Amino acid sequence: MQEWTGLLPAFPLAGFVLLVLSRGRMPRGIAGVIGAGSVGLSFLLALTIAIGVLNNGGQAYTTVLWQWMQVGDFAPGFSFYVDGLTLVMILVISGVGFLIHLYATAYMADDPGFARFFSYMNLFVAAMLVLVLADNLLLLYLGWEGVGLCSYLLIGFWYDKPENGYAARKAFVVTRVGDTSMAIGLFLLFSQLGTLNIQQMLMLAPQQWSVGSGIAVAASALLLGGAVGKSAQLPLQTWLPDAMAGPTPISALIHAATMVTAGVYLIARTHVLFELAPSVQLLVAFIGLATLLMSGFTALTQTDIKRILAYSTISQIGYMFLALGVGAWSAAVFHLMTHAFFKALLFLAAGTVILSLHHEQDIFRMGAMRRRLPVSFWCFLVGSAALTALPFTSGFYSKDEILLAALGQEHYGMLLWTGGVLGAFLTALYSFRLVFVVFFGRDRHQGSSHGEDHAHAAVMEAMSPVMFFPLLLLGLLALGGGFIHVPVDTVFGAVHEEVHASQFLHALMILIPIFGVVIAWGVYGSASYQKAGEHLRERLLAAPIGRRAYRFWFSGWGMDALYQWLFVNPFMVLARLNRKDAVDQIYGWVAQAARVGNSVVVMLQTGNLRWYAISLVGGMVLVIGLGVWR
């Protein structure tokens, strides 16, 4: 099957082309079959390839499709490299992507842009597959930018609302900052190593650079810049919450299967470079830690169901960065996979809730949905349990690995571990706050914005088999995904030595999320404590410091305001100053001079014949005079 590797991204790409060429005239049924089916075919192919490779002892191989270009020694190919890491990525992308596509055929059934939606989704998956399959950084960059383009198209999918267009532009511009850094990193790597082929690079770099050398630090820091932008980490995380403007399946696709995991993949793929630059690697860990804590606090205060999930994604990717930063490469990839399962599950379940409530996203207008939306409830519960890392769910194993690896870090192990555990506590708090507010307590949907009597009765679970099947499968994966062994040992070399944490620390790691769930239950869940919980909330908000903290967290630690003040406003001022366009002004002067000259010269043309004659004579006298008295 290996010779068919090139078909992996070709299926979704063909789907994209077909759907685009049909220009929306294709019947919905066929468009849905093409959209979901192409990704499904990719998944089947990925599965057969994976089985083939794993039976072969995980032997990596390269498939050259064709030579892309040749400029001197620089000859990047259109070639795919498949090893354990790639296998995990293509399986997650095509598998979870397929389930999301399947779900979306029902979710988007009434949308006028049905075919357009699936064409973008297919292109998204194709670009992401190219990104993870690429055997050189230039091809990877092609996929990287393709993913960025598709995220722009999909976030702004409902483009008739200006704020959606704004969110799309924001995502594009903010990730572009990271992309620029990455492009410079590619130039640097090529100028130093003379190749962009990843495997050659990883082989050459340790031979040419010593550990901690300036070039290695610069190269890995520039690549980190790109990863930070795509994976929505500090300081470029601001685009992700706004990316919730798109339809919910898009959010699931961006958060679970594509886009945000690209940064994690990039760092894992070029991990040798990061090992050569320990300072940058430590920076990765601290970026992850800071991001996961910050977004954890922010998620606590949000009221929009999708924004809470968005911040939880930022926080979970913070965990992956933490793992990358402490050298636990396989733990990061493992968490990437389990996160894909439960985050896709959470988003799709949130989608059914939103759809059932006629596009209501404020969690304080929901409540008591447990009985009315049983399937969504159970899916959400499973997803939240995995997100919180309750024992025996998939998230438990991956987060456990990450925290243990963090503890094993030489100098800052205890600090990183404590931060990670605090983050786990926050995760428990915000995810079960979400569960309890939405599915337990009083039904607050009644008499909401609809204000009609039958609005209440209209709450019915929007659940068709094509929506139920992906939810069921993702739910099973979110529960049992922890038992999947990620076949990346051959990629990352020697397995890290087991970190021996004391029984006490281990127990702490298990108990703290449970403790968080209990607190969330006390404040938001149980009927008996509801009053006390509400009282506590009011007391906290009444205190000036509580209110200020709430507002600060709610705004995402003021990052948006900071960037508005730091970058957007100066840019706007410059734009306003330059509204008349200084460069254009120069050409304006040229035109003005020509116009003035014309109006002067025009006066000479009087129409008077004798005037012409005298100027003729004058000119002649002048010329002859010059000739004679030279």
Partner 1 sequence: MDAIPYEHGLILAAILFVCGLLGVLTRRNIVFVLMSLEIMLNACGLAFVVASARWQHAEGQIMYLMILTLAAAEVAVGLGLIIQMYRRFHTVDISVLNEMKG
| Contact call for residue 602 and partner 1 (CB under 8 A) | yes
First to last CA, the chain: 91
Which residue's CB is nearer to partner 1, number 586 or number 603?
Answer: 603
Is the distance from CB of 458 to CB of 91 less than 8 angstroms? no
CA 244 to mean position of chain CA atoms: 11
* Choice from 457, 460, 590, 603 touching partner 1 (CB under 8 A): 603
Is the distance from CB of 430 to CB of 363 less than 8 angstroms? no
CA distance 107 to 260: 23
| Contact call for residue 613 and partner 1 (CB under 8 A) | yes
* Choice from 67, 535, 606, 619 touching partner 1 (CB under 8 A): 606
Minimum Å distance from CB 153 to partner 1? 56
* Choice from 502, 608, 626, 627 touching partner 1 (CB under 8 A): 608
Which residue's CB is nearer to partner 1, number 544 or number 627?
Answer: 627
Minimum Å distance from CB 626 to partner 1? 19
Is the distance from CB of 236 to CB of 177 less than 8 angstroms? yes
CB count, 10 Å around CB of 592? 11
Which residue's CB is nearer to partner 1, number 211 or number 617?
Answer: 617
Handedness of CA 373, 378, 381, 387 (dihedral sign): negative
Which residue's CB is nearer to partner 1, number 414 or number 617?
Answer: 617
Minimum Å distance from CB 600 to partner 1? 11
The piece of 83-91, 165-173, 405-413, 604-612 that touches partner 1 (CB under 8 A) is 604-612
| Contact call for residue 607 and partner 1 (CB under 8 A) | yes
Is the distance from CB of 398 to CB of 494 less than 8 angstroms? no
The piece of 385-393, 544-552, 575-583, 607-615 that touches partner 1 (CB under 8 A) is 607-615
Q: Which two tokens stand for residue 549?
A: 């903290």
Secondary structure of residue 408 in the 3-state scheme: coil
Which residue's CB is nearer to partner 1, number 566 or number 617?
Answer: 617
Minimum Å distance from CB 174 to partner 1? 58
* Contact string (CB under 8 A) for partner 1, positions 317-346, x = contact: ------------------------------
CA distance 205 to 565: 41
Residue closest to 519 by CA, chosen among 374, 554, 511, 395? 511
Is the distance from CB of 318 to CB of 423 less than 8 angstroms? yes
| Contact call for residue 528 and partner 1 (CB under 8 A) | no
Is the distance from CB of 388 to CB of 431 less than 8 angstroms? yes
CA distance 404 to 400: 6
The piece of 158-166, 329-337, 362-370, 601-609 that touches partner 1 (CB under 8 A) is 601-609
Residue closest to 441 by CA, chosen among 382, 378, 370? 370
Is the distance from CB of 157 to CB of 120 less than 8 angstroms? yes
Q: In which region does residue 304 sit, left (phi positive, over 0), alpha (psi from -120 to 50) or beta (all else)?
A: beta
| Contact call for residue 627 and partner 1 (CB under 8 A) | no
CA distance 2 to 539: 63
Minimum Å distance from CB 581 to partner 1? 32
Phi, psi of 225 (to 5 degrees): -55, -45
Which residue's CB is nearer to partner 1, number 460 or number 603?
Answer: 603
The piece of 45-53, 82-90, 180-188, 606-614 that touches partner 1 (CB under 8 A) is 606-614
Which residue's CB is nearer to partner 1, number 191 or number 608?
Answer: 608
Which residue's CB is nearer to partner 1, number 594 or number 617?
Answer: 617
* Choice from 498, 610, 627, 628 touching partner 1 (CB under 8 A): 610
Minimum Å distance from CB 150 to partner 1? 60
Where do we find the tokens 């169901």?
305
Is the distance from CB of 249 to CB of 348 less than 8 angstroms? yes
Minimum Å distance from CB 590 to partner 1? 21
Which residue's CB is nearer to partner 1, number 55 or number 608?
Answer: 608
Q: Which two tokens stand for residue 438?
A: 């939405």
Minimum Å distance from CB 629 to partner 1? 18
| Contact call for residue 591 and partner 1 (CB under 8 A) | no
| Contact call for residue 596 and partner 1 (CB under 8 A) | no
| Contact call for residue 614 and partner 1 (CB under 8 A) | yes
The piece of 247-255, 389-397, 570-578, 600-608 that touches partner 1 (CB under 8 A) is 600-608
CA distance 32 to 39: 11
Is the distance from CB of 305 to CB of 438 less than 8 angstroms? yes
| Contact call for residue 582 and partner 1 (CB under 8 A) | no
Q: How many residues belong to the site for partner 1 (CB under 8 A)?
A: 13
* Choice from 55, 191, 502, 605 touching partner 1 (CB under 8 A): 605
Which residue's CB is nearer to partner 1, number 187 or number 612?
Answer: 612
DSSP 61: E
| Contact call for residue 595 and partner 1 (CB under 8 A) | no
CA distance 506 to 514: 13
CA distance 477 to 340: 10
Minimum Å distance from CB 170 to partner 1? 56
DSSP H or E run through 165:
helix 162-193
Site residues, partner 1 (CB under 8 A): 601-610, 613-614, 617
